[in-house]
């Protein structure tokens, strides 16, 4: 008999009741959420009453809800823990996500019937730690983002009786699974209390200190930008200069790209990971819909025909969303030089959120507008029931309340327009209300893309990273029989570059070799093809042992 396919759960974030219902509508098997006083989510929009309503709604749909109680407790938090745990028992979630061992022990004692999950904030990276939490009573462990696929496979093999959850999509943190000091230090906003100021994505400027002790900013202009190159020299690596890239707009030296494992999703499905998690607790309902839609269709397509599964159409859909560029992050064990954006921290995309269906009023859609719509605009309505968008040309904007007809409508103050069902040509004979239920979202192409050249570079670099092609990022040669139009060096050179792009070719300093320790700082060792043989030897060495 063929081996049964283990269906991985698609787990989506829900920052509000509306976002929860949207995520479930677009295919989430489960959602995770919390109230501000129960979790790290100081920006959570759930009231206790909404949380109860949301759990009841999910259960009626056959879906699960995991509640976050993943605060790191201070003494001031202890007195209210009993009240919080009693509240959790009343709302009856399918699991409670916890990071703090003390909180875990408290909940286990005072609410023994609740299923306990270990948060990614607990930084679980090995089968040893998974077994530890299992012995304490945990039913599921969310692994740290730093766990590679190879390590994940080993953990799955050695911990068959513990459910495992791993992140597949969303923002990446420059620190160890979110344990950040930058936000607290620079803006007094607790990164681990859901209030991160994202200091890692700020723009930083270079300064020099003159001999008289005064500090001067280096002003980069078109006239002098080619005169400067910036490097870091680490104390124990004299003569080795690591580039810091800066343009006249500043440097974004800590700006990680977003995680996207769509090109490798089949590997996680084949491994049978219990839960595939998407980050985005503060993202919009539009984000929840688009990401859930992409991964739901991708998972279902793999289950139906794993041999011929292709990630491209689903990745193309994800690129319609605002993103900082995508990366495989730690999938292949170490970050590559393609995992960061040094010249911009902005999210870019070709499309934007047009709005969503607030409700049906008789045979009219009440469509809440999220970005300006002009007469003549083409919007794409993304039905939860089908993959192809339903395209609709807006010929006039009918105010949902007054009936006033205008040539344009701007977003804000819950502004909505009325779309009669009769304007949907080609859908005659179909139940439009089933195709386009409440909470359905729509998008529109942007008239101006903020940084189209960066979007092209991001797409190209992710293609290179995902393929492991011949562009200096993989030790394996390019397979010309499987080459795509962005695979080889020739196409890479033809990719357009913005005038503001940092230079990527740097002069070499120090020795043209490596100490053999395989440190994170030595990109030359980990990504240059000429060190492929040495990398193979390193696999048999102990940590810290040199070649």
Domains, the chain, in order of start with CATH, read 9-178+258-327 (3.20.20.70), 351-445 (2.40.30.10), 511-547 (no CATH)
pLDDT score of 294: 98
Decide: pTM greater than 0.95: no
pLDDT band at 60 (very low <50, low <70, confident <90, very high): very high
> Which residue matches tokens 């503001």?
500
Question: Rounded CA gap, 268 and 270, in Å?
Answer: 5
**Would you say residue 90 has pLDDT above 70?**
yes
Cα angle 378, 379, 383 (rounded to 5 degrees) comes to 145
The residues, ordered by sequence, that sit 6+ positions from 327 with a Cβ below 8 Å of its Cβ are 172, 256, 257, 258, 259, 260, 335, 336, 338, 339, 462, 465
Lowest mean pLDDT among 143-147, 291-295, 447-451: 447-451
pLDDT band at 329 (very low <50, low <70, confident <90, very high): confident
**Residues 406-425, mean pLDDT to the nearest whole number:** 92
Contact (CB, 8 A) for 535 and 526:
yes
**Residues 417-441, mean pLDDT to the nearest whole number:** 90
**Would you say residue 500 has pLDDT above 90?**
no
**Residues 53-75, mean pLDDT to the nearest whole number:** 92
What's the mean per-residue pLDDT of the chain?
79
72 versus 454: the higher-pLDDT residue is 72
Q: Which of 256, 258, 271, 7 is nearest to 149 (CA)?
A: 271
pLDDT band at 47 (very low <50, low <70, confident <90, very high): confident
**Would you say residue 341 has pLDDT above 60?**
yes
**Would you say residue 486 has pLDDT above 50?**
no
Q: Which of 373, 380, 367 is nearest to 419 (CA)?
A: 367
pLDDT band at 513 (very low <50, low <70, confident <90, very high): very low
Share of the chain above pLDDT 90, in %: 47
**Would you say residue 501 has pLDDT above 50?**
no
**Would you say residue 507 has pLDDT above 50?**
no
**Would you say residue 214 has pLDDT above 90?**
no
Lowest mean pLDDT among 62-71, 320-329, 334-343: 334-343
Contact (CB, 8 A) for 149 and 267:
yes
**Residues 79-105, mean pLDDT to the nearest whole number:** 90
Question: Rounded CA gap, 245 and 474, in Å?
Answer: 22
pLDDT score of 91: 85
Q: Tens digit of pLDDT for each residue in 278-318?
A: 998 789 999 999 999 999 999 999 999 999 999 999 999 99
Strand partners, 380: 391, 443
In the chain, what are the helix, strand and coil shares in percent, each to the nearest 5? 30, 20, 50
**Residues 252-277, mean pLDDT to the nearest whole number:** 90
386 versus 508: the higher-pLDDT residue is 386
309 versus 326: the higher-pLDDT residue is 309
Structure tokens at 347: 């999210």
């Amino acid at each position: 008999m063929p081996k049964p396919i283990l269906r991985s759960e698609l787990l989506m974030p829900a920052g509000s009741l509306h976002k929860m219902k949207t995520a479930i509508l677009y295919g989430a098997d489960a959602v995770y959420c919390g109230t501000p006083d129960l979790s790290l989510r100081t920006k959570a929009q759930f009231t206790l009453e909404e949380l109860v309503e949301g759990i009841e709604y999910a259960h009626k749909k056959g879906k699960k809800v995991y509640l976050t109680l993943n605060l790191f407790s201070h003494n001031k938090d202890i007195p209210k823990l009993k009240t919080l745990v009693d509240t959790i028992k009343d709302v009856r979630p399918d699991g409670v996500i916890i990071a703090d061992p003390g909180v875990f022990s408290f909940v286990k004692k005072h609410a023994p019937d609740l299923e306990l999950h270990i948060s990614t904030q607990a930084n679980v990276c090995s089968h040893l730690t998974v077994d530890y939490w299992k012995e304490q009573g945990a039913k599921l462990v969310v692994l740290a983002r730093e766990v590679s696929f190879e390590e994940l496979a080993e953990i799955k093999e050695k911990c068959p009786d513990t459910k495992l959850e791993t992140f597949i999509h969303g923002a990446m943190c420059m620190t160890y699974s979110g344990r950040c000091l930058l936000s607290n230090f620079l803006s007094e906003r607790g990164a681990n209390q859901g209030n991160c100021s994202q200091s890692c994505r700020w723009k930083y400027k270079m300064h020099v200190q003159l001999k008289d002790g005064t500090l001067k900013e280096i002003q980069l202009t078109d006239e002098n930008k080619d005169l400067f190159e910036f490097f870091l020299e680490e104390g124990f690596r004299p003569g080795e200069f690591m580039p810091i890239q800066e343009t006249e707009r500043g440097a974004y030296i800590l700006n990680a790209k977003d995680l996207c494992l769509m090109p490798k999703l089949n590997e996680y499905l084949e491994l049978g990971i219990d839960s595939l998690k998407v980050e985005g607790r503060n993202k919009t309902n539009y984000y929840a819909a688009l990401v859930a839609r992409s991964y739901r269709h991708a998972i279902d397509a793999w289950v139906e025909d794993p041999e011929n599964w292709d990630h491209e159409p689903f990745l193309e859909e994800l690129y319609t969303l605002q993103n900082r560029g995508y990366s495989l992050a730690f999938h292949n064990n170490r970050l590559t030089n393609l995992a960061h954006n040094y010249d911009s921290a902005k999210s870019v995309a070709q499309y934007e959120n047009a709005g969503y269906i607030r409700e049906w009023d008789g045979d009219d859609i009440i469509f809440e507008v999220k970005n300006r719509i002009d007469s003549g605009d083409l919007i794409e309505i993304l039905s939860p029931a089908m993959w192809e968008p339903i395209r609709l040309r807006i010929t006039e904007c009918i105010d949902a309340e007054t009936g006033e007809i205008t040539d344009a409508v701007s977003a804000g103050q819950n502004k909505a327009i009325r779309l009669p069902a009769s304007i949907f040509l080609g859908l005659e004979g179909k139940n439009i209300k089933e195709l386009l239920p409440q909470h359905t979202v729509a998008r529109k192409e942007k008239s101006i893309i903020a940084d189209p050249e960066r979007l092209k570079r991001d797409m190209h670099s992710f293609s290179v990273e995902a393929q492991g092609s011949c562009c200096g990022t993989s030790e394996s040669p390019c397979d010309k029989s499987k080459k795509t139009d962005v695979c080889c060096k020739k196409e890479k050179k033809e990719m357009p570059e913005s005038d503001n792009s940092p230079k990527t070719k740097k002069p070499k300093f120090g020795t043209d070799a490596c100490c053999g320790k395989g440190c994170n700082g030595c990109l030359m060792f980990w990504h240059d093809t000429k060190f492929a043989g040495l990398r193979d030897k390193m696999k048999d060495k102990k940590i810290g042992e040199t070649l």
